[in-house]
Structure 1
Amino acid sequence: MAEEKKGCASASTCSKESCAGCASANKKNPFEVETNPNARIKHVIGIVSGKGGVGKSFVTSSLASMMAKAGYKVGILDADITGPSIPKMFGVHGPAIGDDNGTFPIEAEDGTKIMSINLLLEDEEQPVIWRGPVIAGAVKQFWTDVQWGDVDYLFVDMPPGTGDVPLTVFQSLPVDGIVIVTSPQELVQMIVKKAYNMAGMMDVPVLGVVENYSYVKCPNCDEEIHIYGDSHIEDVAKELGISVLGKLPMDQKFAKAADAGEIYAVENDYLTEAKTVLEKL
């Protein structure tokens, strides 16, 4: 009887025949929630970082823009509820509207579909002062209540760390894999491992790691200047058995495009390995 209960919480009240048509029968994660009926999402990719300030949202927007340029239908679920930056980077503003079937995401100029708390607030500069469970609930609603339509890759921009929101996303959404974003400092080795270990505990594949702020190119001689010290990302990736998906330099054109709401207009050739990995999913 105990073994029977592993397969279904109500196993004692159902038969093999009745379980065959049960919605939970083929669900490997009992915490997973259903997406909006008007959403057809092929792949969900989480973008995570063990600490803040490493440019995670920039990497999220860069990956989304790259896949959109390649002809894929792309969306970004901005799960960084208290620090949303995706709408600003893509130049989109609310209010998002909806109907009886849910809310519509707002499309950027390149076609990227975006849902963020900033698209629902009357004032974009209004702070979101919510406790963890409320924030986690909002993230779930971005999955269940948003009419995403057809999306090949939905990138989930998560807040830093291993708290409520990453846990909610890993448990509630069918995440195909995560990309860990980091920077060159030696401290990063520990931080990357925290994100990697959390993914392992939640049985979520790690697609690879992206190093941001890797270097600055001298405008006169093209020499790479490592402001934050020598990179250790290859050593960490080798130890963990994951791929380095890209090393992004500090470049004024990236910052200017993000501030202007035109991040999609920047050609970012540093993430080609990430594109290869995503297309193999």
Structure 2
Amino acid sequence: MGFNLKGKSSIITGGGSGIGKAISMEFASAGANVYILDYDEATAKSTVEDIISAGGNAKFYTCDVSSKEQINKIIDEIAEEASIDILVNNAGIAHVGNVENTNEDDLDRIYEVNIKGVFNCLKAVIPYMKSVKKGCIINMASIASVVGIQDRFAYSMSKGAVLTMTYSIAKDYIDYGIRCNSIAPARVHTPFVDGFITKNYPGKEDEMFEKLSKTQPIGRMGSTKEVAKLALYLASDDSAFTTGTNFPIDGGFIKLQG
């Protein structure tokens, strides 16, 4: 018997691909009704089709999480047909660079999606959870939230904000039965990683994949399914005593690196 989300409704931002897709699939297989909010309509639609073909329930909304208007409209629409039991703030974008080669446009773009996007979803969902005095929120942070990562100035800034938003929500709404935790992955093998390697290291894909894998002390990248399994536990009632905590899933990176 695995963790059970039967009868619960979950909203997953960026749920169409990568870690978000794995979480969407895992939640659906555990019995949840899955609502995917994603900027990429094609990937979101494909994930919903995969879930439905596997016997699950899912629906997608094309959405830019940085838009308060879009988020509010979608959350209100979902709330009319289902309870909002779980929110996974997974949508995010990456950026490589230190403070000198990060320009204002880079910083604003990261802020809009990785920080404001999380804020918009929290702001829209919390009143519904408060009204029933229960709810579970999972924010996707990063090891960059808690340790220094070279050339990740803007990204680390944004994920540090995600981590501290997690603590604030957990503290402010514990009396309303709302739990809030975050997950902090190290490098996870996703289509984004493959695309990054192909774009930046043509002809050296295998070599770079191996090199990046070995930056984790455990000797490999994490899988999206491993992250999704952790999210499933945190979303389930089996973790009812857990709130205000950040969960690294990092192959030993934080404690064992160096």
TM-score, scaled relative to structure 1: 0.45
If asked which structure has higher relative contact order (CA below 8 Å, sep 6+), I would say 1
Greater gyration radius: 1
TM-score, scaled relative to structure 2: 0.48
Higher helix share: 2
